[in-house]
Structure 1
Amino acid sequence: MEGEFINLIPENLASEHVSCIIRTKKVHQGIEGKRQWLADRLKEGHVFRKLNEKATVFIEYAPCETAWTPIIGDNYYYMYCLWVDGAHKGKGYASSLMEYCIADAKEKGKSGICMLGAKKQKGWLSDQSFAKKFGFQVVDTTENGYDLLALSFDGTLPKFAPNAKKMEIESNELTIYYDKQCPYIDQYIQRIKKYCELDEIPVNWILVDTLEKAKALPCVFNNWAVFYKGKFETVNLVDATYIKRIMKK
């Protein structure tokens, strides 16, 4: 199975498909935004490993020190995403990718691996029940049900940064923090903008475009976060139906 996977590197990034966007038939800005984001991150130790074919089968992780998320985890890897979709499920690919990440972490002398989860599994977050089969355990929580899971090799544990547990901002407007890591984000932005313009709903879009901004965020964050009336709502990519629902609060 080893030969079936490849890692994205500067030399193949332009020619290889970004496998988490494989279901999208049209080329759009999100894809190129993802490629550029990756180009800047690969030199920081970011890993994007995927099945060597056009399929949504991949893992993405990075050193916690340079991961765009408000988590403190010295010498840890942060796993952004582990995704196996469609007909490729049930073939052992997810286990192979997780095992690769664990082996890579141990080889590089890391203290462990961590990932974002929730007390109730949420869309766009990796399957925490699957991670727990490999020894991941909840090591920190927020008051609104988000968990930090970790697989520790040396007994040290990561934690949410204090600002990540704030879950509040001063603005009462619909506010969305986002970065360009996920190629789907651009599509969701355009849909939400269209809906909000038609209904004259003010939206505050905040592009997280530096590591410093990501580490200072007032909420848990994988690549997207929604606030309304000053309160954190979700890390899930959301559509107009969701916006309509929270606007009724």
Structure 2
Amino acid sequence: MDNFINLTAENIDEQHLCCIIRSKIAHPGVETKRKWLKQRIQEGHVFRKLDTKATAFIEYAPLETAWVPIEGDNYLYIYCLWVDGEFKGHGYGKALMDYCIKDARKKKKSGICLLGAKKQKHWLTNQEFAKRYGFEVVDSTNSGYELLALSFDESKPKFTAKAKKEIIKDKALTIYYDDQCPFIKQKIENLQDYCQKNRIPLSLNYINSLKKAKNVPCVFNNYAVFYEGKFQTVNLLEITQVERMITS
């Protein structure tokens, strides 16, 4: 098995962050994420990656400091487990999940959890893969999102009561977002440009603290969309998807 490396305060400035494979030109979303990660690593956040320029990594944190509206004692929360392209099919996903489970047991955690959905979403970790490790659905929302957990002691995390309401007063296209995903910065800029040109009301809610993240009024992994006051998705939207949403 190829070597893996964990990001640290000492190596993060030199390491490739996996998600966006780009040329020598620095990508603004990657640098935004790097800045966010520097702060999170101090809180026990783990970013483990294949030690090469590849999309093969896992990212998780203690649930108490994870920027998600989920409650639970002594759990780890997996933001993302992603292996893509030519690196699929080599056992890297298994190696990364095995590491997370071993780390959780070593730290005497009560379990591990992650966000899923009844119908697999493109921007979420593959829940069928997780279920093969024993992850089970422990909570759900009316919109079809699920909280999966691998419990070591029969305790169960849950979505916050506010997250399960999935309703806001603002009727405009509304986005909640943070800096955890490097794709977000460009998606937000494109959406702002589109809405401005087409005179579409847009409300942006920048989540820049743990307190705000724990109080988002819907499920949230780093991004969430409302329209006409109702929660729509955690998927990062393309402009064509926005067009269908506001014309349907």
Both structures adopt the same fold (TM-score exceeding 0.5):
yes
Give 1:106 shift.
0.1
Counterpart position of 1:9:
8
One-letter identity of the residue aligned with 1:105: A
Structure 2 CA distance for aligned equivalents of residues 83 and 16 of structure 1: 17
| SS of equivalent residue, structure 1 residue 164 | coil
Q: Secondary structure at the match of 2:137?
A: strand
Report the CA distance shift for 1:29/1:117 in structure 2 as closer, same or farther (over 3 A). same
2:180 aligns to what?
181
In the alignment, the residues of structure 1 paired with residue 28 and residue 202 of structure 2 have an alpha-carbon distance, to the nearest angstrom, of: 21
Which residue in 2 is equivalent to 1:227?
226
AA aligned to 2:11 is: N
Question: What one-letter code is carried by the residue in structure 2 that aligns with 1:195?
Answer: Y
The aligned counterpart of 1:33 is 32
C-alpha root-mean-square deviation of aligned residues, in Å? 1.0
Instruction: Provide the secondary structure at the position in 1 that maps to 2:60.
Output: strand
| Aligned ranges 1:110-125 → 2 under 5 Å | 110-125=109-124
1:238 matched to which residue of 2? 237
Query: What is the aligned length?
Result: 248
Q: Distance in 2 between matches of 1:82 and 1:48?
A: 10
Structure 1: 5+ residue stretches without partners: none
* Distance in 2 (alpha carbons) for counterparts of 1:7 and 1:81: 15
TM-score (norm 2): 0.98
Match of 1:167, SS?
coil
* Superposed counterparts of 1:154-169, under 5 Å: 154-169=153-168
What's the CA shift for 1:24? Answer: 6.6
> CA 1:185–1:101 in 2, change beyond 3 Å: closer, same or farther?
same
- Counterpart secondary structure, 1:213: helix
Q: CA deviation at 1:248?
A: 1.5
- In the other structure, the counterpart of 1:107 is 106
What is the alpha-carbon distance in structure 2 between the residues aligned to residue 80 and residue 24 of structure 1?
26
CA apart distance, 1:210: 0.3
Any residues of structure 2 matched to 1:3-152 within 5 Å, and which?
Answer: 4-23=3-22, 26-152=25-151
Q: SS at the partner of 1:105?
A: helix
* More deviation, 28-37/41-50: 28-37
Q: 1:46 Cα deviation (Å)?
A: 0.2
Identity %, equivalent residues: 59
Alignment of 1:192 with 2:191, yes or no, is yes
Deviation string, structure 1 residues 106-149 (Cα, Å, up to 9, x no partner): 00000000000000000110000000000000000001100000
Please list the CA deviations of residues 183-230 of structure 1 after superposition, one character each: whole Å capped at 9, or x if unmatched. 110111111112111111111111000000000110000000000000
For the residue of structure 2 that corresponds to 1:19, the secondary structure is: coil
Give the 3 Å change call, closer, same or farther, for CA 179–24 of structure 1 in structure 2: farther
Q: CA deviation at 1:23?
A: 4.8
Q: 2:205 — aligned with what? A: 206
Cα deviation for residue 22 of structure 1 reads 1.9
What CA deviation, in whole Å up to 9, does each residue of 1:137-164 have, x standing for no partner? 0000001100000000011011101011
Q: Deviations over 1:1-47 (max 9, x none)?
A: 2x610000000000101111225764232111101100000010000
Secondary structure of 2:19's aligned partner: helix
In terms of mean alpha carbon deviation, does 27-36 or 156-165 score higher?
27-36
Deviation at 1:85, TM superposition (A): 0.2
The amino acid that maps onto 2:197 is: L
- Unmatched segments (≥5 aa) in structure 2: none
When residues 6 and 174 of structure 1 are mapped into structure 2, their CA distance, relative to the original with a 3 A threshold, is same
CA distance in 2, matches of 1:134, 1:124: 20
